[in-house]
Amino acid sequence: MMTREQWIAFSTIVRKEVHRFMRIWVQTLVPPAITMTLYFVIFGNLIGSRIGEMGGYDYMSFVVPGLIMMSVITNSYSNVVSSFYSAKFQGSIEELLVSPTPNYIILLGYTLGGVARGMSVGLIVTLMSLFFTDLQVHSIGATIIVVILTSVLFSLMGFVNAVYANSFDDISIIPTFVLTPLTYLGGVFYSISLLPEFWQGVSKLNPVLYVVNAFRYGILGVSDISVPSALMGVGISIVVLYLICLHLLTHGSRLRA
């Protein structure tokens, strides 16, 4: 249980994070919606009509869950990495670290800010997708759980990137050269059942594959992987990353820009 002082600190950090991306909503919420709409038009309508069915569904219905999850992943990650690095660069994070606020409160506050932006963009993209396809949710519980866990997981990843970044260029290296390839090769646009057996095995090393397929199961009821195993893997990853982030905050050796 949080004390009153801890709750005030936690809620203040969360409000600051939410206000940060809502204040510049034209830069944080609108571009992902436009980008995903283009994906819907190009991959769903134009190319999808020529591909036909995939996984027992028309291509548009198949690709929509992956695109929604892609927007959640990228925005959860980018919100935390940019916000925390900015605080480190400006030196304001040092004031927070020397305050009586526990490190886990700081971490939870920034993480929840990333979750808020990821889920906000995910909701916007979901509403946009209704103009292109009729979404029938197979399991509302599984869908909500997967979105929350995914937002938390990639928010924590963004936090690690922000701690180790030494410049604003560094906060774009991981998203560009790691996160984007993993996302595009994570089953967003295709079923791994189409791949040769060797590449199916390689694909199963990609963590994005598990969250995309777990979310697709929540929406459509189909998945290339075991959903319980995927949720268990995401949960374990969250615990490990949370402990790593707390360790980095406690030692603070890289928290000076």
pLDDT at position 253 over 80: no
Cα gap 168→57, rounded to integer Å: 42
* Average pLDDT estimate for 239-246: 95
The confidence score (pLDDT) of residue 211 equals 95
pLDDT at position 200 over 80: yes
One-letter amino acid for residue 177 of the chain: F
* Average pLDDT estimate for 195-204: 89
More confident: 49 or 235: 235
Q: What is the pLDDT of residues 146-173, one digit of tens each?
A: 999 999 999 999 999 999 888 888 888 8
Q: How far is CA 175 from CA 154, 158, 182, 222, in A?
A: 11, 9, 10, 28
pLDDT at position 257 over 60: no
Q: What is the pLDDT of residues 19-42, one digit of tens each?
A: 999 999 999 999 999 998 898 888
User: For the chain, how are helix, strand and coil distributed in percent, rounded to 5?
Assistant: 80, 0, 20
Average per-residue pLDDT for the chain: 90
Structure tokens at 195: 């791949």
Structure tokens at 7: 């709750």
